[in-house]
Structure 1
Amino acid sequence: MNEPQVHVGILFEPQIAFELLAPYHINGQEVSGTQVVSYDNGSILWNGALYQELLFTPLTDATSSFELFDVTIGINFHWERKENQRFLGSLKFIVEHEKLTGINVIGVEDYLTSVISSEMSAKASLELLKAHAVISRSWLLDKLNITKQPDGKTEVRPSAPTFYVTDSEFIKWYECDAHIHFDVCADDHCQRYQGITRASTPLAAEATSSTRGEVIMSDGNVCDARFSKCCGGAFEEFASCWATVSHSYLQKKRDSQTNTELPDLRIESEADRWIRTSPEAFCNTTDKQVLAQVLNNYDQETTDFYRWKVTYEQAALSKLIFERSGIDYGQIIDLIPVERGVSGRLIKLKIVGSKRTMTIGKELEIRRTLSASHLYSSAFVIDKVDTVEGVPGQFILTGAGWGHGVGLCQIGAAVMGEQGYAYDEILLHYYIGATIDKLY
């Protein structure tokens, strides 16, 4: 097969300003310089004319680039901000939800060079960058339904529901299949992709080129290669975070080669003990040199991610949960763990209020409900203090890890790279029983 192209949704605004930094073609014209497109009653307004779609294609693919102004990064995270970003490839505009969507059309390999420089620092070790190139390629090609089928056909998986609700439960999970008119978005919802804004080093380019076309596979299919910042010492299973599907390569395991024993963290007492201590693991590190290789400058604003603590006053928590969920629980009487996954992450949490009681899940919905942005993870235990007439004055959450904990742990993988593990050893540590194959 040939290298595929990917359509990446970058920007979603009523008006988008951008600059073509080299000559581009559109509708038989050659254009360059600063441009503005605007939403106008179901169409795209550009240069005084209305269009249903616009596609700017570069004259020279290898060198032509464009810059989008005021791109939002870190959507709904504590470090959300806007910045100008530059991209290679083509620029497409479509109409969606009474706004314009700016889409970058680019080859998979150029996309990946940016992803591994956006998700981490391009200064990371070569073995870590190679590992990340393989999993980012695998995740993407899985989303594009690119598989190595014996009959040469493309496997198309039916879409599954992403939530269910009853009078007493609200269970929701978040997938990239919400994107209908492009393949993936450019933010943490899919994979961070910031074009050539974060200048990639020769090492990042080498990591992509030296693993060109390589993916991790299981049972003849490209793996759904999930990854997160810090697993907290134990890998979570796929079904704890998304649809109730079991992947043999995304299973329970401790993030260590020297200590492989892992308690059953689905049991509340075991989870409590695990989360309140600091067990040995690859990702249990405070080495600033390693962390600087993994985390970009805005991610380094987050500290104490292996084990962390958050305190909520009663009034603030009640207000926060109402604002985030739209449900008025009244005063928060209790937060009760209902179900945990194999890493200790909560799959279901019961919120007991003076007006309403509801069980919520899965892990990201819990994190979204209990934070103005995203709580670091759902692997936490709860302490109530200053209780008066059954109403706690404070809730203290003590937690573990950063992210969903499924698949590759970026900080753990960085430590492995520094300790001399090769990229294939890193991959096969995190994706259990998988193989590495070359698709193109």
Structure 2
Amino acid sequence: MKFNTEPWLNVGILTDNKIRFELYGDFSSLATNKILNGIFTAELNNNKIICKGTNITVEAEDEIIFEPSDPVSESFLLRDVIIGVKFHWERREKQRFNYFLKIIKNGNQLTAINYLPVEAYLTSVISSEMSARCSINLLRSQAVVARSWLLAQLQNKEKEKIKDPSLKPIKTDEELITWYDREAHTLFDVCADDHCQRFQGVTKVTTETAFKAIKDTRGIVLISDDEICDTRYSKSCGGMSESYENVWEPVKYKYLQPVIDYKFEPENLELDLTKEENAVKWIKANPPAFCNTSDPKILNQILLDYDQETKDFYRWKVEYSQNELSNLIKEKLGIDFGDIVDLVPVERGYSARLIKLKIVGEKKSFVIGKELEIRRVLSPSHLYSSAFYVEKGNIKEGIPQKFILHGAGWGHGVGLCQIGAAVMAEQGYQFDEILIHYFPNAKIRRIYS
């Protein structure tokens, strides 16, 4: 797929049994010859989509599209949109959107989709992933990264790739090595939550700076070997970014390799963090890094209200009792380990993130990976990152009664470190300097105007 002009895309916003929405302005639909506005409720009835308004009912077999007479000045509002799905900040909120609303059947439920041009989508993304009041160079760099990731996904969707069997997750009686990416979406291009990119409509677009960042970087992407880079980003790398193959399928990208998140290497630390001794020292230390900041001005830019519920992200600590940990692991994996005897690092990535972890119980031992599976199993929602070491305490008859996880970073750590990039922008780095820092071996190119 060549992007000579700006593409449009379908963004899945909400899937539920009932969808409540409001149309602000004059909307039309092929399902009726009447002008539509006001409050509506959409449900499935006898396998048909039924949208009921105050004085009108619209129905269709598979989808209903609501088209505004003016896609920029008119809007629609969706209620009960879930944000932070399965994360500790999960909640519902109402969100407003421009352009087209689609209601489609999704099994025995309905899905609300926003159909809109890429640049309008990105204006919301950079304001949803962080505050629209961020510095202009942070927003410009986030815009390029978000655009590159999106267009790479659209391009890959067009390719019918036969994957090497060795790239598939592994599941046996002794181990589960799996990873999570965006391949689950078949009815739309991308979702609106952290699984893809945060997209919360025009609700979060509150400054002209966000519009300027998109205008300044329109059509600009990162390129490697004449391909659009599959760029990734997370909140905080913890001082060292991770490589792609250690988080997702075992494929190497030369622009998604480990980067020390600073101007120079930290002193008195061995930086081969794949070695357990070095990884523990790294996590215990507090090395200088762009993302090692407690500056409230910067953090208030990069962390939205619900993100600020996480206070410690560069270095953090989580404690579990024996009962809490054993019950949590049993619930997440569906395996009864008995009491947990140990959590043993098996393999680490370049940033000290665990790729494989062995759970040793009284009844069974089992290896899990990769990083998101480890984070999922060891937390009611998601552990901040998989870069941690385990301290055991209050050991009785060989069974620890307490486990303390000491960790570094927030997220998978691959590609752009958002807090680090915010600090770089505050220190005067231009957006292209930020991009090349986090994506070595990539080039910056405008592919449409």
CA contact (8 A) 1:253 1:260 kept: no
The one of 248, 252, 260 aligned to 1:246: 252
Decide which of 321, 324, 331 is 1:323's aligned counterpart: 331
Name which of 11, 16, 21 aligns with 2:14: 11
Match of 2:434 among 398, 418, 426: 426
State the SS of the aligned residue for 1:95. strand
Paired with 1:242 and 1:146, the residues of 2 have a C-alpha distance of 15
Q: What residue number does 1:37 align with?
A: 42
Superposition map of 1:196-345 within 5 A? 196-259=202-265, 263-345=271-353
Contact preservation (8 Å) 2:123, 2:205: no
**What is the number of residues matched between the two proteins?**
434
Say yes or no: does 1:24 pair with 2:24.
Answer: no
Q: CA deviation at 1:40?
A: 2.7
Q: Measure, in 2, the Cα distance between the counterparts of 1:324 and 1:36.
A: 35
Superposition deviation, residue 399 in structure 1: 0.1
Corresponding letter in the other structure for 1:21:
Y
Residue among 94, 99, 105 paired with 2:109? 99
Corresponding residue number in structure 1 for 2:70 = 60
Q: Distance in 1 between matches of 2:47 and 2:168?
A: 29
User: Which runs of at least 4 in structure 1 moved beyond 3 Å after TM superposition?
Assistant: 154-162
> Is the partner of 1:265 in helix, strand or coil?
coil
**Secondary structure of 2:202's partner?**
coil
Distance 1:233 1:49 in 2: 54
Please say if residues 48 and 59 of structure 2, whose CA atoms lie closer than 8 Å, have aligned partners that are also in contact: no
Counterpart amino acid of residue 144 in structure 2? V
Give the equivalent residue in structure 2 for 1:76.
Answer: 86
Q: Distance in 1 between the 2:338 and 2:13 partners?
A: 39
Aligned partners of 1:228, 1:173: CA distance in 2, in Å? 16
- What displacement does 1:177 show? 1.1
CA contact (8 A) 1:76 1:373 kept: yes
Instruction: Tell me the alpha carbon deviations over residues 98-145 of structure 1, each in whole angstroms, 9 at most, x when there is no partner.
Output: 111111101100000000000001111000000000000000000000
Q: Unmatched 5+ residue regions in structure 1?
A: 148-153
Q: Secondary structure at the match of 2:183?
A: helix
Compared CA separation, residues 162 and 106, structure 1 to 2 (3 A): farther
Cα displacement (A) at 1:390: 1.4
1:298-343 Cα offsets, whole Å, 9 max, x none, are 1111111000000000001111111122222111111000000000
- Shift in Å at residue 158 of structure 1? 4.5
2:359 aligned with 1:351: yes
Distance 1:77 1:146, change over 3 A: closer
TM-score (normalised: structure 1): 0.96
Q: Indicate the residue corresponding to 1:393 in structure 2.
A: 401
Q: By how many angstroms is 1:25 displaced?
A: 1.2
* Contact 1:113–1:200 (8 Å) recurs in 2: no
Structure 2 distance, partners of 1:112, 1:367, is 28
Mark the runs of 5 or more structure 2 residues left unpaired by the alignment.
Answer: 52-56
**Matches of 2:24 and 2:58, distance apart in 1:** 22
State the Cα deviation string for residues 151-203 of structure 1 (Å, max 9, x = none).
Answer: xxx65544676522011010111111110010110000110000011133100
Cα pair distance change 1:48/1:110, threshold 3 Å: closer
Q: TM-score, normalised by structure 2?
A: 0.94
Distance 1:42 1:163 in 2: 36
Residue 227 of structure 1 contacts residue 408 of structure 1 at CA under 8 Å; is this kept in 2? yes
- Residue type matched to 2:171 in 1? V
* Residue 51 of structure 1: how far off its partner (Å): 2.3
Q: Map residues 362-373 of structure 1 onto 2, 5 A cutoff.
A: 362-373=370-381
Identity %: 52
SS for the counterpart of 2:155 is: coil
Q: Secondary structure of the residue that 2:223 maps to in structure 1?
A: strand
Q: Secondary structure at the match of 1:225?
A: coil
Aligned 8 A contact 1:70 1:82 in 2:
yes
1:325-373 CA deviation, whole Å, 9 max, x = no partner? 2222111111000000000000000011122211001000000000011
1:415 counterpart residue number: 423
C-alpha contact (below 8 Å) 2:275/2:348 kept by paired residues: yes
Q: Which amino acid aligns with 1:336?
A: V
Displacement, 1:39?
Answer: 2.2
Change (3 A) 1:411 1:89: same
**Partner SS, residue 189 of structure 1:** coil
What RMSD in Å do the two structures reach over aligned CA positions?
Answer: 1.5
Does the residue aligned with 1:196 lie in a helix, a strand or coil? helix
